[in-house]
Amino acid sequence: MKLIPAIDLKNNKVVLATGEKRCNYQEIPTSLSPSSDPIDFIKYLSTLCNFNTIYIADLDSISKFSKKNILINSILDEYKDINFMIDNGASKMSDLNIYDKKNFKQIISTESFEEFNNLKLSGYENFILSADIAKGKIICKDSNYNNLHPNKVICMNLDNIGCNTGINENNIRLVKNLFPRAKIIISGGISDSEDIKKIKNMGYNEIILLTAILARKVKN
């Protein structure tokens, strides 16, 4: 099973994700991490979990798109041996691949992106689709996401992020039915090793999570 730590950045600090409302996310408490500085936080994570991939959500850019985040550039340069999956709130084709680094993978989210037909026509494939789900429905600005044939899709359970409520099997089935040939990455609600075993038994082998790692309720 591949565990992928998730880092949410807000005002250049690591914040703790707690459900769908990002405006309520607060700087990660010292009870979970000795530092909210992203560079130091990643260093601390490496002492808890053996990983080679990290998911980063640039919440400021998701709220109001920024062409390039200096901090993320620094992270990519500092940790060249780690692969980063980055959601920067890209909404147009011109927003893609703004980080010219080998250890960067573009996340395209249904919540933000508005040019899925153009994406399909372009033949661009170097991305992971994030199917962002709230209240049992995929949030989108362009419903043509379902015409894509991505290699990987994140089942992003926004209601469950940081809540330790367990996995949402209905949402996983929803995404799998939409993209039957894609590899599905599960995100949101993972509370402990039992959830990981359940996901593995369902046939999935990649999970994005954070709180359970910091609370030392899972091992890789």
**What domains does the chain contain, in order, with CATH numbers?**
2-214 (3.20.20.70)
The Cα 108–Cα 122 span in angstroms is 14
Q: What is the mean pLDDT of residues 16-35?
A: 84
Taking only the tens place, the pLDDT of each residue in 147-192 is 999 999 999 998 877 666 788 999 999 999 999 999 999 998 898 9
| Residue 69 in tokens | 């985040």
Q: Residue type at 163?
A: C
Split at pLDDT 50, 70, 90, the class of 218 is confident
First to last CA, the chain: 7
Whole-model pTM: value is 0.94
Bridge-based pairing state of the strands 104-109 and 83-87: parallel
Whole-number Å distance between alpha carbons of 196 and 193: 5
As a whole number of angstroms, the distance between CA 192 and CA 216 comes to 9
Q: How confident is the model over 70-95, as pLDDT tens digits?
A: 899 999 999 999 999 999 999 999 99
